[in-house]
Structure 1
Amino acid sequence: MTLSWEGEDEDARAARRAAAQKAALQAGRTGEPLRLGNEFSEVRVSRMETRNGSRLLVGHGLTSTGTGVPEAVLRAISVDTIARLCLDVVKAGGTLTDLPEKDLRELPDLGGSFNNDTAWRHEMARLG
């Protein structure tokens, strides 16, 4: 199966730029990567020093930032989860669509710290 899409060339250029940026980040790696995993997968998380401070680089190619380690890790987990869900929908023959503005407006604003704190406690509990 071959995939193609509108903007494919632009995405390819962006991917090449991102790869160059990743290589530059990896040059700033400090220490050994932290390995997190379970029986299904393993992710390596490395600390990078940049001109704007420390960043986390997750071994499967995602660079995540945050105001601290918990926020950066939660952002990486969110991106990975959303990507997996999207892939499952497409594999099942579904079509991805944006939520209508009306539905977005109806979502409650629980505040970032409530969501981040709750999610971080959940992830820490999962690790045991």
Structure 2
Amino acid sequence: MKLHWSGEEEDARAARQAAAERAELATHTSGEPLTIGNEFSEIRVSRVETRNGSRLLIESPKSGQWVALCPLELEAITWQNTTTFSAMIGKPFGPLLPEDDQ
């Protein structure tokens, strides 16, 4: 007997799409990736070239999570305070704010 859940096919489709997008980004890596970590986490950072300019590809090898950020999104990180980061860490693997379903 195989267990199924509501939304299983949508989850699988989204995972396949994200994996394909990440693989495409990785083919455009510029230079060597940088890996940093401590006792809590490890991340790999790569510069990737896209048709809209350079992005920073940030990956968590342990969780498989990743994000590609443009220069403005990276700058926005510098505008945050420690409360923002604490809130992000306190709610792992999900967005800090809900997405609009429009």
**Residue in 2 that maps onto 1:37:** 37
Measured on the aligned residues, the alpha-carbon RMSD in Å equals: 3.2
Among candidates 76, 83, 90, match of residue 92 of structure 2: 83
Higher relative contact order (CA 8 A, sep 6+): 2
Paired amino acid for 1:51: R
State the Cα distance separating 1:34 from its structure 2 match.
Answer: 1.9
* Deviation >6 Å, runs of 4+: none
Structure 2 unaligned regions, length at least 5 = none
**Residue in 1 that maps onto 2:66:** 62
Name the count of aligned residue pairs.
82
TM-score, normalised by the number of residues in structure 2: 0.61
**Residue in 2 that maps onto 1:48:** 48
Residues in 1 aligned to 2:37 and 2:56: alpha-carbon distance in whole angstroms: 16
Paired amino acid for 1:15: A
State the Cα distance separating 1:53 from its structure 2 match.
Answer: 1.2
More strand by share: 2
More helix by share: 1
Structure 1 or 2, whichever has the larger Rg, is 1
TM-score, normalised by the number of residues in structure 1: 0.50
Residues in 2 aligned to 1:31 and 1:10: alpha-carbon distance in whole angstroms: 35
Cα 1:38–1:12 shift into 2, 3 Å: same
Structure 1 unaligned regions, length at least 5 = 87-97, 99-128
Residues 23-52 of structure 1 show CA distances to partners (whole Å, capped at 9, x for unaligned) of 100001011112222233321111111011
Deviates more, 1:49-58 or 1:31-40: 31-40
State the Cα distance separating 1:72 from its structure 2 match.
Answer: 6.2
**Residue in 2 that maps onto 1:5:** 5
Identity score, percent:
49
State the Cα distance separating 1:8 from its structure 2 match.
Answer: 1.3
